[in-house]
Each structure stands twice: as C-alpha cells, then as structure tokens.
Amino acid sequence: MRSLRSRAVLAGITALGTIGLATAAAGPAGAVPASGGTEHSSFPAAGAVFECSSPTGDITALSGTVSMVDHWTVDGQGVFHETGTVNTHGVTLMGANGDLYTVSGASWFGGKMDATGTPMVFTDTEHWVLHDTTTGGNVKVQIVSHWSPGASFTWDKGTCSAPEG
C-alpha cells in the first residue's frame, strides 16, 4: 500500500544511502567490500485510507497488520541494490457506506543507486484487491511504476489509490 511502501522505500533508500556513503568513505571505489542486510518490520494498518472513486468511496482500515521485508546489498563497486515486499495480515476495512472489506495482494519494489546515492533504476508494483464482504464486490489498486535516467512511466489500471503518507 502506498503509505506503507513509501515508508519502506524511504527507509530503505535512507539506509542504503547511509551504508553507501559510509562504505564509499572507507576506501577507493575498487576496494569497496560487498555488504548487505535484511530487515523485517511490521506496523498497524488501522487508519490507512484507500481513496476510491464512486460509487464505493474511500475505504479505511480498521485493524490488522502490515509486514515488510527489505533486503539490500552493496556490491564491490559501491552500487546499492534493494528489493522489498509489503503484505497484510488480518486487515479489515470499512467503506464510506458502511460495507466491510478484507484485502489481499502485495507490493514489491526494487532498484539500485550509485555510491553517491543517485538512483540508477527503480521499479514499484502494487496489486491490492479490496473484497467487499457485505455485497461480494471487489475494487482494486493496480499500479506499476518504473524510473530510470531519462525515462519513467506509471501504469495505473485500478479503481482505488493506495494509502498515502
């Protein structure tokens, strides 16, 4: 979900930048030792809002947990590689009209940046299905975004936007 992913991506980029700058300062580019790590984190989903068009309206998380796995490596050239996944556990939501929802799906992101922290390539994919347990309907978040120097695109075929912030 966008707010969750955004937190994860920013945390990962910050971590990579910190690791990279420290590694780069340790010696010349050819002498950078490879390193990396994996971080598992989770936080409450309650309060996250999916902005959806009519007739559904916004859908707000009432309970449940969001989990993230963030993995990064710094190669011998000082290039930082990161990949992460975000998923949910036991999330229940309520629509603007009082309908109850569950959510399934995941978000994946990955990319790399040079030793100065300048992004080289980054891709983000999201697919979330909000299942209306009251009426049996579904609404979706379906987004693929890609960035590389001189080119980027976003493909959005969903009816909702994932939570921000």
Over the stretch 38-56, which tens digit does the pLDDT of each residue have? 999 999 999 999 999 878 8
State the pLDDT confidence band at 23, using cuts at 50, 70 and 90.
very low
User: What pLDDT sits at residue 115?
Assistant: 85
CA–CA separation, 135 and 131 (whole Å): 9
Q: How many angstroms separate the CA atoms of 57 and 30, rounded?
A: 54
Task: Provide the pLDDT for residue 82.
Answer: 96
pLDDT of 103 > 50? The answer is yes
Average pLDDT value over all residues in the chain: 84
Residue 122 has pLDDT above 70, yes or no: yes
Spans of all domains in the chain? 2-161
- In the chain, the percentage of residues whose pLDDT exceeds 70 is 79
Q: What is the mean pLDDT of residues 9-37?
A: 52
Contact 152, 137 (CB under 8 A): no
Is 19 in a helix, a strand, or coil? helix
Lowest mean pLDDT across 2-6, 75-79, 117-121, 132-136: 2-6
Does residue 24 register a pLDDT over 70?
no
